Chain A
C-alpha cells in the first residue's frame, strides 16, 4: 500500500460526458502528479501540482483540467469525453516539488471506460 488513494476505482460513462477523478496523496506529500495510461502504452504525464499550485504540465488536453485543494487532495476533471479517453489514470505523490522519480508513490489508478 503506497498510501496514495484514488477514487473511484472504475468509472464507466458515455461520450460527451464529464467525470471527476479524485486523489489523496500520502500524508506529508505536497506534490501530486497525474498520468494517463492507454492500452499497451507507457504512462503519459499530464500535470503536476505542488502545494496547491500548478508546477508542470505535460500532454494534457484542453478538455482536461486539474486542481489541488488546500487539504492537498487533487481532482482531475475530464470533459466532453471521447472514446479515446478510455484509459487508466494514475495519481502519484511526492514530498518535494522536483522529481527524481524515486520519491513518487503511485495510487492504484482509476480505470475509465467511455462507451
Chain B
C-alpha cells in the first residue's frame, strides 16, 4: 500500500527552464510534507517542506504547492540549474500515533540538460 506516490521515475529539463516534480498521497491524515534531494553516494538532504494548513511555501528557487482536495503536491524549481540534477523524494508525516514516521515516495530522478 503506497501512501505516497511519485509516478514519474525520471524527468529531463533544459537548463534555465522550470522543473516540476509531482507527488500524490492517499492518507488525508498527513499533516506535513517534505521534499528531499539526494545525490549519488550521499544520503538525502532536506530541501523544503509545507504544512497541511498552507497551500504554498517558497524558498529561493524552490516552491512547493499543496492541493489538499486533490491530495497532490508539487515542487517547482525555477530556473533549473545543472546542480539540481539529483533524485528528489517526497515524504509525508503521519499525525497522531504515527507522528514519528515519515512515509516516502520512490523518488524522481531529475536530469538538467545544458
A102 smallest CB distance to B (angstroms): 5
Residues of B within 8 A of A97 (CB): 100
- Whether the pair B45, A2 counts as a contact (CB closer than 8 A) is yes
CA distance A108 to B43 in the complex (A): 4
A51 smallest CB distance to B (angstroms): 14
| Chain A residue nearest to B90 in the complex (CB) | A42
Mask: chain B, 79-114; 1 = CB below 8 Å from A; 0 = not: 000000000010101000011111111110000000
| Chain B residue nearest to A38 in the complex (CB) | B106
Category for how many chain A residues contact B: 20 to 34
Mask: chain B, 11-52; 1 = CB below 8 Å from A; 0 = not: 000000000000000000000101010000111111001000
- Whether the pair A101, B46 counts as a contact (CB closer than 8 A) is yes
Residues of A within 8 A of B34 (CB): 100-102
CA distance A98 to B101 in the complex (A): 9
Mask: chain B, 59-96; 1 = CB below 8 Å from A; 0 = not: 00000000000000000000000000000010101000
- Chief secondary structure at chain A's binding surface: loop
CA distance A90 to B41 in the complex (A): 11
Category for how many chain B residues contact A: 20 to 34
- Whether the pair A42, B104 counts as a contact (CB closer than 8 A) is yes
Mask: chain A, 102-115; 1 = CB below 8 Å from B; 0 = not: 11111111000000
A108 smallest CB distance to B (angstroms): 5
- Whether the pair A101, B93 counts as a contact (CB closer than 8 A) is yes
| Chain B residue nearest to A31 in the complex (CB) | B100
A43 at interface, CB cutoff 8 A: yes
A68 smallest CB distance to B (angstroms): 14
- Whether the pair B102, A45 counts as a contact (CB closer than 8 A) is yes
3 smallest CB-CB distances across A and B, nearest first, come from A106-B43, A42-B104, A56-B100
Chain B residues with a Cβ under 8 A of chain A: 4, 6, 9, 32, 34, 36, 41-46, 49, 89, 91, 93, 98-107
